[in-house]
A and B are shown apart, each in its own frame.
Chain A
Amino acid sequence: MTLLFLLLAPLAESSACLMLRSRVLMERVSIASASLNFILAIILVRDVGRYQSVSLLRGFLFADALSALVILLTAFVALVCSVYAVGYFRWDLRRQTVTPGRLKEYYTLTPLFVFAMFLVASANNLGVMWVAIEGTTLASVLLIAFYNRKTSLEAAWKYIIIGSIGISLALFGTLLCYYAAAHVVGTESIEGLNWSRLMAAARDLDPEAMRLAFILILMGYGTKAGIAPMHTWKPDSYSEAPIPSAAVLAAAVLNCALYGIIRFHILASKCLGTKFSSGLLLWFGIGSMLTATPFILVQTNFRRLLAYSSIDHTGIMLVGVGVGGSLGPFGALLHMVYHAIAKPLLFFCAGNVQQKFETAQFRRIGGGVLKVMPVTGVLFLASTLAVTGTPPFSLFQSEFTVLSASLQAQNLWVAGIFVGCVVTIFAGFLHHIGHLNLGSARPGAARSDSDWWRLSPMLLLASLTVLFGVWLPFPLLNLLQQAARIVGGTP
């Protein structure tokens, strides 16, 4: 039943917010519902740990460890964002950059967005999963166009056009997968695209169709995940969306899109052998890392910097899944967890700075953020170190795991490029964010930090990034191992 409640709660929240008039009530409803979702996700994790997988409504909804992981992370990101959003939008309202009507749009659309993401991870049917991934795009377009500036409309337009092309490629891929299975599983019933059915019959699928299907899926969902060269919408959307939505896009939608790719990867490697799909994932992963690196070095806007960092992290996760072995998938999923904690933090820091200085350009701020906003500044530096994979922060662990997986697979050139990119990105990031935070502030900037609505979720995230690097709670570790086995093909 947990799965059903997980899907119903956001829908209820959305309709409640549609009817509510008062802003304070909408804020409370959104935090309450996000906490409820998070608790439900934890219950789901417990159930999955106990029974391996749960299914509901005659197999329409289905969750194994991999889905539970994605749902847990989505619920977590949505929760921290809902708290941060309160302070963020109150500031915007005071500055009159948004109207109360627009704000209602945010509180109505965000739960729908979350609902679509939960559906992505809990749908058994790959067709329904496609519908849900398209749903995430549709629910988020108006969030990207939120501020109604010229630039945000441009970003939203690019997002929906590129997203639609990608998603129709993915539909074609899903279709071919259905075709590949038609002669085994039979058509005309919903079961023909059910994940559990397809997995059971994976060896008998038509290999020719499956090969093309996987390529199309990788291009299609890869657009949604922002894999190079389909990443071009990402910097625009991430820099134009309001911070809470951008953080959800970067830390939760990314996981859902990768989830779609990974599902098909498991299917394809069972049908075609591991070489084909792993090879493609590896190429695209390395390609994304290589594409992101130069843009990070020359970036002038810190919101766009974050987007390129997200492209780089997508690459790291793909490389992890691609190199395979006993460590690769585990490293990739571990990275997914750590990334979902560190990325929102980075976005929140960027949001605080952007609201205070009313720009996201490095040059127009100059430096000295640390002096003007002490807490945000410290967290900004810390999260930069975290995201670039510096010890003692947790992302070092996962990046190191992926690296050792590629060494274990004796993929020396992958390991080489990987290290090269990570080091260069570290240098670039530190250069930009260091300049932004250190040094002396421009005269006239009053010393005041953000309010506690914004700072408290950030402090929580910061402590989790450090804590989870040295100690993972046992249920989470168990879930990760279980999920890694599923990705590795031995559930």
Chain B
Amino acid sequence: MFYDDIQFGTRMITLMAAGMLVTQLLIVGQRLLPTSIRLFSLQSFLLACLANTVAYFNHARHIYIAAFLTLLLKVIVMPLFLNRIVKRTSETTEVQSYLNTPVSILICGGLTLIGYMVAHPFIKPHQRGHSTLAVATALFLMGFFLMMNRRKAISQVLGLLTAENGLFLAAISLTYGMPLIVELGIFFDVLIAVMIFEILVYRISEIFDSLDTSKLRRLRG
């Protein structure tokens, strides 16, 4: 049957990793904030599915827990959080970047290439879904690019979260995840981080009447 077939598993993993890359590119090209948040949710869903597949085919039970947490936190809780911030701060929902979309997409293409170059020495042909590490590195780099390119505070947070997704993907593809307690710690930290980001975003929008971080430029030298 197909669910015993390791070849099938490998293909599924590659397919989902490719899906994550596509969603990341869509986020980079997306101009509306709510849609970006939905895309992030989709990306995290793909990640959770991918983690489940890896857990199933490699009999690595602790990945199921991490996959479940991804599903709970990144697919459901964090998008809710982010949407709530968008609503409460009643900002315009357009993201506003420093660079325009075509240039951003071109840069992300370059970052994907870099991802493949960095991942090259670690790729062993016999390993299942061996291009996932390259995708993970690319996601990681693009997440940083998003953080730098966006003006709005919330879209910077979103960039960080996608970079975080890339890291988790790398963890799965390199070593089938980290020790469970570390993974729990990481999830806990990410959750707290998003909450703190939320507090800060509220305070910034209260005091500056805007979430445009390019207005934060008083401290110099």
Bound complex: CA of A144 vs CA of B147, how far in Å? Answer: 21
Whether the Cβ atoms of A175 and B156 lie closer than 8 Å is no
Whether the Cβ atoms of A235 and B203 lie closer than 8 Å is no
Which residue of B163, B216, B219, B221 contacts A300 across the interface (Cβ within 8 Å)?
Answer: B221
A145-201 interface (Cβ within 8 A of B): 145, 148-151, 153-158, 160-161, 164-165, 168, 171-172, 175-176, 178-179, 182, 187-193
Instruction: Find chain B residues with CB under 8 A from A209 CB.
Output: 122
Given known A-B contacts A131-B189, A168-B140, A145 and B203 have beta carbons under 8 A apart: yes
Whether the Cβ atoms of A235 and B175 lie closer than 8 Å is no
Bound complex: CA of A235 vs CA of B218, how far in Å? Answer: 12
Bound complex: CA of A172 vs CA of B171, how far in Å? Answer: 8
B186 on interface, CB distance cutoff 8 Å: yes
Whether the Cβ atoms of B178 and A127 lie closer than 8 Å is yes
How many interface contacts (CB-CB < 8 Å) are there between A and B?
Answer: 132
Instruction: Find chain B residues with CB under 8 A from A190 CB.
Output: 179-182
Query: Number of contacting residues on A, CB 8 A?
Result: 53
Question: In whole Å, how far is A147's beta carbon from the nearest beta carbon of chain B?
Answer: 11
B170 on interface, CB distance cutoff 8 Å: yes
B62 on interface, CB distance cutoff 8 Å: yes
Whether the Cβ atoms of B179 and A150 lie closer than 8 Å is no
Whether the Cβ atoms of A153 and B216 lie closer than 8 Å is yes
Whether the Cβ atoms of A138 and B192 lie closer than 8 Å is yes
Q: Which label, helix, strand, loop or mixed, suits the secondary structure of the B interface?
A: helix
Instruction: Find chain A residues with CB under 8 A from B204 CB.
Output: 153, 157
Bound complex: CA of A474 vs CA of B199, how far in Å? Answer: 47
A142 on interface, CB distance cutoff 8 Å: yes
A295-327 interface (Cβ within 8 A of B): 295, 298-301, 304
Interface residues on B, range: 35 or more
Interface readout for A106-138 with B: 1 if CB under 8 Å, 0 if not?
000000000000000000010110110011001
B85-144 interface (Cβ within 8 A of A): 118, 121-122, 140, 144
Bound complex: CA of A192 vs CA of B221, how far in Å? Answer: 44
A141 on interface, CB distance cutoff 8 Å: yes
Whether the Cβ atoms of B164 and A168 lie closer than 8 Å is yes
Given known A-B contacts A135-B189, A171-B186, A157 and B167 have beta carbons under 8 A apart: no
Whether the Cβ atoms of A125 and B200 lie closer than 8 Å is no
Whether the Cβ atoms of A131 and B188 lie closer than 8 Å is yes
Whether the Cβ atoms of A142 and B207 lie closer than 8 Å is no
A64 on interface, CB distance cutoff 8 Å: no
B50 on interface, CB distance cutoff 8 Å: no
Instruction: Find chain A residues with CB under 8 A from B186 CB.
Output: 127, 130-131, 171
B66 on interface, CB distance cutoff 8 Å: no
Which residue of A160, A165, A193, A212 contacts B196 across the interface (Cβ within 8 Å)?
Answer: A160
Which residue of B118, B122, B200 contacts A156 across the interface (Cβ within 8 Å)?
Answer: B200
A428-485 interface (Cβ within 8 A of B): none
Given known A-B contacts A138-B193, A182-B175, A236 and B200 have beta carbons under 8 A apart: no
Bound complex: CA of A182 vs CA of B175, how far in Å? Answer: 7
Interface readout for B61-92 with A: 1 if CB under 8 Å, 0 if not?
01000000000000000000000000000000
B19-53 interface (Cβ within 8 A of A): none
Question: In whole Å, how far is A127's beta carbon from the nearest beta carbon of chain B?
Answer: 3
Bound complex: CA of A192 vs CA of B188, how far in Å? Answer: 21
B13 on interface, CB distance cutoff 8 Å: no
Instruction: Find chain B residues with CB under 8 A from A150 CB.
Output: 207-208, 218
Instruction: Find chain B residues with CB under 8 A from A189 CB.
Output: 179
Whether the Cβ atoms of A157 and B182 lie closer than 8 Å is no
Which residue of A125, A157, A187 contacts B153 across the interface (Cβ within 8 Å)?
Answer: A157
Given known A-B contacts A145-B200, A145-B203, A175 and B219 have beta carbons under 8 A apart: no
Whether the Cβ atoms of B189 and A188 lie closer than 8 Å is no
Whether the Cβ atoms of B175 and A179 lie closer than 8 Å is yes
Whether the Cβ atoms of A141 and B182 lie closer than 8 Å is no
Question: In whole Å, how far is B194's beta carbon from the nearest beta carbon of chain A?
Answer: 10
Whether the Cβ atoms of B160 and A164 lie closer than 8 Å is yes
B174 on interface, CB distance cutoff 8 Å: yes
Bound complex: CA of A299 vs CA of B220, how far in Å? Answer: 10
Residue of B nearest to A148 (CB): B203
Question: In whole Å, how far is A138's beta carbon from the nearest beta carbon of chain B?
Answer: 5
Bound complex: CA of A190 vs CA of B200, how far in Å? Answer: 34
Given known A-B contacts A157-B213, A300-B221, A165 and B122 have beta carbons under 8 A apart: no
Instruction: Find chain B residues with CB under 8 A from A155 CB.
Output: 219
Instruction: Find chain B residues with CB under 8 A from A149 CB.
Output: 207
**New A-B contacts (9) at CB < 8 Å, excluding given A138-B193, A157-B216, A168-B160:** A131-B185, A138-B196, A153-B208, A160-B200, A175-B170, A179-B122, A188-B60, A236-B219, A299-B221
- 20 interchain pairs (CB within 8 A)? A127-B178, A127-B185, A138-B193, A145-B200, A150-B207, A150-B208, A153-B200, A157-B204, A158-B216, A160-B197, A168-B160, A171-B167, A171-B186, A179-B174, A179-B175, A187-B177, A189-B179, A190-B180, A236-B219, A298-B221
User: Interface residues, chain B, CB within 8 Å of chain A?
Assistant: 60, 62, 118, 121-122, 140, 144, 147, 153, 156, 160, 163-164, 167, 170-171, 174-182, 185-186, 188-189, 192-193, 196-197, 199-200, 203-204, 207-208, 213, 216-219, 221
> Which 5 A-B pairs have CB atoms at the shortest separation, nearest pair first?
A127-B182, A131-B185, A154-B216, A190-B179, A236-B219
